[in-house]
Amino acid sequence: MRVFIKWCGLPWCMFAGSWLFEGLEVVKYVRDATPVAPPEPIVELGNVSGDVLRQLLSRLRQLISLASAVAWVKRVGLRVFIHGSAMPDPVNDFIKAALAGGADGVLIDDFISINSDLIDVIRVNQKVGDNSVNYIVMNPDNPYQQSVRAYGVIIKDVVIDTDWLLRVRDRLRSIYGSREFLVMLDNSSLRREIIDRLQDVVDGIVITEVPSLVSLDFDDYRAFNVFRCVNCYIDFETEGEMRKCPRCGNRLRPVIKHWDKFMVIEPRVLRLKANDEIRYMRLGTPKVINY
């Protein structure tokens, strides 16, 4: 049985969630922090029941959506944090998905408790000495009352308007001397056109809801091996192995293939792998050739 990306709100999705395959009969699969273009497969499974498959697809949709949103924002050069309230249980699954997209950290406040040695956890509005804080969260119509220096200012209830954002950014930087200007975005705002508009105005975003960017489907077909040429930006679908691009001779990067041994990538290296893959991604969908 082949599970594949049916739709993604972006030209490509960043895969996350291979650890959910543990205990299943895995024929071939995509490793975490690997970009996948719809309708490419993400896993081929054998002897899986309908109930298990439905639960698997439901969890994968959330994890891939979060990793994809993070990766796209990183792709355009912005910093990305996840607000702790956006991470339902099991929290570690969503932390690993955030890392697979290249997230910079998790922000928490007095009402949220997350402890993790996998990702940087930063408490907002907390003094760190000498009347300074790491990050301040505020509504621009109700500025922070205390006189502090802040590394970064995070705006909630943001207006997606370039002129408005520039005025707010410049005013808050003059008050707090902050180096970073970030905005909070919910599910409705995590869209490509909005991110593209923000990239020259803000330094980063804070995701406050797990987005819904991906739909998955399955069928009874076998999954082809898929190899991507980062020079031609072509994905070759083939039943066999390919090492070099038949067009330009450059090395191919595997998207999905039969691995000798099922292996979940160590969470501490997920962000490094994501950042490496994002360097090769483009703003459009790769061309797919059955070879």
Would you give the DSSP letter of residue 244? B
| Virtual torsion, Cα 4, 288, 285, 30, nearest 10 deg | 40
pLDDT for 126 equals 72
Q: Are 64 and 34 spatial neighbours (Cβ–Cβ below 8 Å)? A: no
Please give the Cα distance from 203 to 27 (Å, whole number).
42
| Cis before 143 (ω within 30) | no
3-class secondary-structure state, position 216: strand
Please give the Cα distance from 15 to 97 (Å, whole number).
8
The answer for residues whose C-beta is within 8 angstroms of residue 240's C-beta and 6 or more apart is 225
Count of helix runs (H) and strand runs (E) in the chain: 5, 18
Cα three-residue angle 28-30-32, rounded to 5 degrees: 140
Please give the Cα distance from 170 to 181 (Å, whole number).
9
pLDDT digits (tens, 9 = 90+) for 191-244: 888 998 999 899 999 999 999 999 999 999 999 999 999 999 999 999 999 999
pLDDT for 116 equals 84
Domains, the chain, ordered by start: 2-68+213-290 (3.20.140.10), 77-207 (3.20.20.70)
Tell me the two tokens of residue 288.
């797919």
pLDDT digits (tens, 9 = 90+) for 25-84: 999 999 999 999 999 999 999 999 989 999 999 999 999 999 999 999 999 999 999 999
Judged against a pLDDT cut of 70, whether residue 129 lies above it is answered with: no
Please give the Cα distance from 147 to 232 (Å, whole number).
54
Q: Are strands 79-83 and 105-108 parallel, antiparallel or unpaired?
A: parallel
Would you give the DSSP letter of residue 197? H
Would you give the DSSP letter of residue 19? G
| Cis before 254 (ω within 30) | no
Q: Give me the amino acid identity at 211.
A: P
Judged against a pLDDT cut of 70, whether residue 143 lies above it is answered with: no
